[in-house]
Amino acid sequence: MSANPQPKAPGDGWLEILKRPTQEEFAAAFSRNVVLDTSIAAGPIVGPIDLRYFFEASRTMYDAISFTHETNSGSRTCLEWEGAFRGNAIAGTTILAFDANGAIANVQLYHRPYEQVIAYAAELGRRLKGKLDPSIFPER
């Protein structure tokens, strides 16, 4: 009798990509012109290199974060998450859209509530200064 494999927890596949140790391994999951659209930036972030800068900075900012639900529908994966930033609740949704080759072509990342969106965006802009186009995170 073989043991049944444990089901993956919500977000496990996405977290595996985010934790890949090299730029090449990280980029392998994405299309060459992948686009990140997010509620915490003034414009899109394009390309695997800039996405890696973004996620390397942002994933260290949470006091806690966990994925609570995952829904897959072929070309899309929707991840719901919740956590804390600077001691206050923050939550959101990450939507991954895949191209015909199975690479991630678009990431949509939404944060809430509004006060946390503003605070998180300001801190992320400080952390990414000099790495990404400064117009993406305008100073307030």
Q: What pLDDT digit, counting tens, does each position of 119-134 carry?
A: 999 999 999 999 999 8
> Would you say residue 23 lies in a domain?
no
> Would you say residue 10 lies in a domain?
no
Which own/partner pairs from 41-44 qualify as long-range (CB within 8 Å, at least 24 positions apart)? Answer: 41/121, 41/124, 41/136, 41/137, 42/135, 42/136, 42/137, 42/138, 43/133, 43/135, 43/136
> Would you say residue 108 lies in a domain?
yes
Predicted confidence (pLDDT) per residue in 72-90, tens digit: 998 999 999 999 999 999 9
> Would you say residue 81 lies in a domain?
yes
> Would you say residue 16 lies in a domain?
no
> Would you say residue 15 lies in a domain?
no
> Would you say residue 3 lies in a domain?
no
Structural domain boundaries enclosing 115:
32-133
> Would you say residue 93 lies in a domain?
yes
pTM: 0.91
> Which residue would you say has higher pLDDT here, 140 or 122?
122
Number of domains in the chain: 1
> The domain spanning residue 82 has which CATH number?
3.10.450.50
